[in-house]
């Protein structure tokens, strides 16, 4: 019996080529994506890596995205390679222009590196969202369209704006703690299939009985 789409397929639904399971198309070892996370883009969902910018292996930062995330068209993950030295008179990157200016190449310790960018599980990122380096977005969070995510967003909160602001919790604290405990995204495919109606129900009391 089939318990949902193949998580190792590029297109979960061959009739909808704008939706791509991005775990199966990334080539960079410093991008880590969970099962069933998709990018939706009619201009080429399989080009997701083009939306992860300034990402250089020598810096070592990772983009880590959990399972079952929904990422809309126009997203941009700006990584640490975009940062300029800020503890000097000028922020201008003389070194990358060459012709002798490379003598001013900064040490990595001189750059304001923010670490890995981490997106949790079951996160919905709206259209044209920009995520800045080192941000952590918790499980079940929602990021409104056209937002610039400059700071961490807690699990099961809604955030939006430029810069992003926390707007409200999605659920009460007890339900949030329950969802963080059961981690439904780690269930086997058969169990998810069995409880699909509960996961998609507006009757939130049902999930608390699992």
Q: What is the CATH number of the domain that holds 54?
A: 2.160.10.10
Does any domain span residue 58?
A: yes
Does any domain span residue 130?
A: yes
Same domain, residue pair 99 and 177: no
Q: Tell me: the pLDDT tens digits for 171-194?
A: 999 999 999 999 999 999 999 999
Question: Into how many domains does the chain fold?
Answer: 2
C-alpha 163 chain-centroid distance: 17
Same domain, residue pair 107 and 179: no
Cα gap 54→45, rounded to integer Å: 20
Segment among 76-85, 91-100, 112-121, 126-135 with least mean pLDDT:
91-100
Confidence of residue 131 (pLDDT cuts 50, 70, 90): very high
84 among known catalytic residues: yes
Q: What's the confidence (pLDDT) of residue 180?
A: 97
Residue 77: give the domain boundaries: 19-170
Same domain, residue pair 188 and 88: no
Same domain, residue pair 148 and 181: no
Exposure string over 95-118, b if 16+ CB within 10 A, otherwise e: eeeeeeeeeeeeeeeebebeebbb
Does any domain span residue 9?
A: no
Q: Which of 51, 55, 84, 195 is catalytic?
A: 84
Same domain, residue pair 128 and 193: no
Cα gap 126→178, rounded to integer Å: 25
Same domain, residue pair 157 and 100: yes
Does any domain span residue 2?
A: no
Cα gap 183→205, rounded to integer Å: 16
Cα gap 31→37, rounded to integer Å: 13
Mention every residue, 6+ apart, whose C-beta is less than 8 A from residue 203. none
What's the rounded mean pLDDT across residues 6-24?
A: 96
Same domain, residue pair 58 and 161: yes
Q: Is the predicted pLDDT of residue 7 greater than 80, yes or no?
A: yes
Residue 111 is given by DSSP the state S
Strands 19-21 vs 52-53: parallel, antiparallel or unpaired: unpaired
Does any domain span residue 159?
A: yes
pTM, full prediction: 0.93
Same domain, residue pair 150 and 68: yes
Does any domain span residue 11?
A: no
Q: What's the confidence (pLDDT) of residue 183?
A: 98
Same domain, residue pair 164 and 192: no
Same domain, residue pair 194 and 131: no
C-alpha 42 chain-centroid distance: 19
Same domain, residue pair 124 and 178: no
Same domain, residue pair 187 and 150: no
């Amino acid at each position: 019996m089939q318990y949902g789409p193949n998580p190792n397929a590029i297109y979960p639904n061959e009739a909808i080529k704008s939706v791509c399971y991005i775990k199966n198309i990334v080539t960079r070892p410093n991008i880590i994506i969970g099962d069933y996370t998709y990018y939706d883009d009619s201009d080429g969902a399989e080009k997701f890596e083009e939306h992860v910018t300034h990402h250089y292996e020598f810096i070592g930062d990772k983009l880590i995205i959990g399972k079952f995330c929904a990422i809309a068209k126009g997203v941009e993950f700006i990584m640490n390679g975009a940062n300029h030295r800020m503890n000097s008179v000028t922020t201008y990157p003389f070194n990358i222009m060459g012709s002798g200016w490379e003598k001013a190449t900064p040490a990595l310790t001189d750059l304001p590196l923010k670490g890995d960018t981490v997106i949790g599980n079951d996160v919905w990122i709206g259209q044209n969202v920009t995520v800045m380096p080192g941000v952590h977005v918790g499980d079940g969070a929602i990021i409104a369209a056209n937002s610039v995510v400059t700071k961490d967003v807690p699990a099961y909160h809604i955030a939006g704006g430029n810069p992003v602001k926390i707007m409200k919790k999605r659920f009460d604290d007890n339900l949030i703690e329950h969802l963080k405990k059961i981690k439904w995204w780690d269930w086997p495919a058969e169990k998810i299939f069995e409880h699909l109606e509960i996961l998609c129900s507006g009757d939130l009391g049902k999930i608390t009985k699992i």
